[in-house]
Amino acid sequence: MLRRIDWLTVFLYGLLVFFGWINIYSTTLSDTSLSLFDTSTLYGKQLFFICISLVSILIIMFVDTNFFERFSGVFYVLGLILLLGLFPFGKVIGGAKSWYDLGFMNLQPSEFVKVAAALALAKYLSDIQTDIKNKKHQFYAILVILIPLLLVLPQPDPGSALVFFALFFVLFREGLPIYYLGLALLFIALFLFTLMFGTIWVAIGLGMLVSLFFFFKRPDLKIPTLPLIIFIVGCLVVSLSVNFVFENVFEQRHRDRFGLWLNLEKDATKLEQIKKTIGYNTYQAEKAIESGGFFGKGFLEGTRTKGDFVPAQHTDYIFSSVGEEWGFIGTALVIVIFTLFFLRLVQIAERQKREFSRMYGYGVIAILLIHYFINIGMVIGLLPTIGIPLPFFSYGGSGLLFFTAMLFIFLKFDASRLNEGI
C-alpha cells in the first residue's frame, strides 16, 4: 500500500507545508522566545495542526477505499447541515459567521463541504445513469455545486463561495460543452469592460467585432440570424445592467476593491485615500514583496513582516512574507513547486481507471488551484481583494486539515487503483 503512494506528490506537499510553517513562524514570532510547541503561539498552534493533519493522513490510509465513495452522499448532506447550523450556532470571526467553536480549535465547515462537494459531484457524475450531455443531468450536477455555494455566500464568505465555481472544471473534463466556459468568460469580460469603458464603447467594440467576423468569414458560411441577434442583444443587456448591479447590488467596499483593481478612480487624492484604507493590505503586501528583491532579506529579517505592516500576514497574506524574506528566489520556488504539484496531480487524475477517482481528482485539483490562483493573484496585486487562504501555507487548522484530507483521499484512490477492477 505505502509503496504505491505517489511519493513525489507527498514530497511536494511536505515542502509546501514545511515552507509555509517557516513563514508562519517568522510572521508570528514575538520577542519572548517560547518553545516551538507552545500552543499559545500561533506557530505552535500551526505545528499542532500539522500533527493533526498527519494523523488524519494515517486514518485515511487505513480506511477502506470504498468508504469515501459509498458515504459521499452522507458527507455531502452532513456538510449542508453543518452549514445550515452555522446560522444559529456559528461563531463570528472577522465579520463572517463561518466557524464552530470546538474549544481547542475553530472549525470552518465550509472547508469540509469543499471535500464533500467534490466527492458528491464525482459520485453523481460517475453514476452509470448520469449523462453529462443531458440537460437535466447537467442541471442536477450544477445543483450539487450551487447549493453549498448559496449557503456559504450569506455568511458572508464570498471567497469560499467562489471556490465552489472551480468544481465546474470537473464538469468540463467530463464533457460539459466548453462553450459554457466561453460564455462565462464573455460575461466576465463584458462586466469588466463595461466598468472600465462604459456601455457605449462596449457596444461599439461589439459592433466592430461582428463586422470583422462578417468581413472575414467564408462566403458560404451561413449564420443563423436569430441566435446572432439574441447574442448581441444579450450582450447589450448584460452591459446595460452592469452599472445597476455595480451601484445597487455591490457594497461600497466591493466597489472600492474593483475600483482599485481596474484603476477606475482617477482622482489622485481619492486614490491615495483608497490605497490607505481598502487597498492598504494589497499595497503593503506588494511593497513587502517588492522590497525583498532577488535574494530577499533573509529568514526572520523581513522588516515589514516584523513591523506587522501587512495585516493578516500569517493567514491570507502569507505569500508576502515569502516575498520579503526569501526574495524572488523564494517566491519563484513556491510558484514552481505549486505548478509541478498541480501538473503531477492532473497526471495522476488522468491515469485513474475509475471515473469516480478521476472526477474526484479533478475536483481536488480545481479547488486547490483556485485557492492558489486567487490568493497569490490577490497578494501580488493582480486580482481584487478576495479573502481565501493559500493551501498548505496559510495559518489555519480547518484549512490545513481538510486540504490535507482532500489530497490524501485522492492519493489513497490512486494508490489502490491497481487492486480494483472497473
Residues near another protein (CB under 8 A) are: 31, 169, 172-173, 175, 178, 286, 289-294, 301, 303-304, 306-309, 323, 327-328, 331-332, 335-336, 338-339, 342-343, 346, 350, 362, 365-366, 369, 372-373, 376-377, 380-382
Nearest approach, Cβ of 188 to another protein (angstroms)?
A: 15
- Distance between CA 420 and CA 213 in Å, rounded? 51
Closer residue to another protein in complex, CB, 14/175:
175
186 Cβ partners below 8 Å, 6+ apart?
A: 235
Taking a C-beta distance cutoff of 8 angstroms, is the pair 410, 58 a contact?
no
127 Cβ partners below 8 Å, 6+ apart?
A: none
Closer residue to another protein in complex, CB, 65/138:
138
Closer residue to another protein in complex, CB, 64/350:
350
- Distance between CA 82 and CA 88 in Å, rounded? 11
Nearest approach, Cβ of 169 to another protein (angstroms)?
A: 6
Closest CA to 416 of 8, 69, 4, 126: 4
**Half-sphere exposure of residue 409: CA atoms within 13 angstroms, side-chain side:** 26
Closer residue to another protein in complex, CB, 83/274:
274
Taking a C-beta distance cutoff of 8 angstroms, is the pair 421, 15 a contact?
no
Nearest approach, Cβ of 170 to another protein (angstroms)?
A: 10
Q: In which residue are the cell numbers 508562519 written?
A: 24
| Secondary structure of residue 107 in the 3-state scheme | strand
Nine-digit cell string for 2: 505505502
Q: How many angstroms separate the first and last alpha carbons of the chain?
A: 19
Nearest approach, Cβ of 57 to another protein (angstroms)?
A: 24
Closer residue to another protein in complex, CB, 149/369:
369
Closer residue to another protein in complex, CB, 131/301:
301
Nearest approach, Cβ of 391 to another protein (angstroms)?
A: 14
Return the ∠ at Cα 417 (arms to 365 and 4), rounded to 5°.
90
Nearest approach, Cβ of 296 to another protein (angstroms)?
A: 9
- Distance between CA 130 and CA 153 in Å, rounded? 28
- Distance between CA 304 and CA 81 in Å, rounded? 42
**Half-sphere exposure of residue 230: CA atoms within 13 angstroms, side-chain side:** 5
Closer residue to another protein in complex, CB, 90/292:
292
Nearest approach, Cβ of 322 to another protein (angstroms)?
A: 10
Closer residue to another protein in complex, CB, 194/357:
357
Nearest approach, Cβ of 262 to another protein (angstroms)?
A: 16
